[in-house]
Structure 1
């Protein structure tokens, strides 16, 4: 079971921000072997969802209100720490993220740019593919809408 925090950018402690940036780098840059600009200027607009197993950050995503990323509400930077992936926390993270978007923005229509290998995972949460696949930072992605 995870403990959740929902933070705006200005609510982060230095330690929380460091943990998030470290986890994002660990997964998206090192593990996925993808050199890209993670610090993209969008964190200041986002609502950040942090999931802790005991005191360790193991789950994270960031959410956007409509027109901050897509026309619809959105989320991205979805991460489960590699050592925590066998517990089903990914499903918990998406449920918490959808609830945060509903609570924070009163939105239920959500568009995401999903890594193609996670298509079935997002379909299990009510998302459907829209359009053809494309490369984002060298990784196959697809647009999905709920």
Structure 2
């Protein structure tokens, strides 16, 4: 079980295929939400993922400032169903925040959170900055982290 963080240009074809497959399986199929999952932003992003038995066990897309928002962002956060309940989501998100703050040297991070996950993201210091709204038929809330977190051992 190994964590990886790679810029788009560093991904091999197998990694890219697995990432896009898992994102589509979760966001389009599982959530029954037809939308353009491949949105053109991946090429400008970092991709954080955990491999377990050569399969994606957790994944997040890390967007530098200016790709989606003026601030850095974290999106496409997934843990496939067979890996849920193992604590991967928390470890994934802590690593994502740490990478943006430590490696990209960005303090503010904006996310578009599914409303039911606001408590989860709030545990990392994110605060709501919008009212609830529908995005592709799913309630979302924009959230912002404004302070540098103390780096956690992950």
1:109 to partner: Cα distance: 1.1
Distance 1:121 1:21 in 2: 24
State the secondary structure of the residue aligned to 2:90: helix
1:64 to partner: Cα distance: 1.2
* Structure (1 or 2) with the greater helix fraction: 1
Q: Which residue of 2 aligns with 1:122?
A: 121
Q: Which residue of 2 aligns with 1:112?
A: 111
TM-score (normalizing by structure 1): 0.95
Q: Which aligned pairs between 1:37-56 and structure 2 lie closer than 5 A?
A: 37-56=36-55
Q: Which residue of 2 aligns with 1:100?
A: 99
Q: Deviations over 1:57-101 (max 9, x none)?
A: 111111111121111111100000111111111100101101221
State the secondary structure of the residue aligned to 2:131: strand
Q: Which aligned pairs between 1:1-146 and structure 2 lie closer than 5 A?
A: 2-146=1-145
Of 81-90 and 52-61, the range deviating more from structure 2: 52-61
Where structure 2 has 5 or more consecutive residues not aligned to the other structure, the ranges are: 146-154
State the secondary structure of the residue aligned to 1:131: coil
Cα gap change, 1:99 to 1:36, in 2 (>3 Å) = same
Q: Deviations over 1:27-62 (max 9, x none)?
A: 001110110000100001111101122422111111
* Structure (1 or 2) with the greater strand fraction: 1
Q: Which residue of 1 aligns with 2:151?
A: none
Question: How many residue pairs end up in the alignment?
Answer: 145
Indicate the RMSD between aligned Cα atoms, in angstroms.
1.1
Distance 1:136 1:56 in 2: 29
1:105 to partner: Cα distance: 1.3
Structure 1 segments (4+ residues) deviating >3 Å = none
TM-score (normalizing by structure 2): 0.90
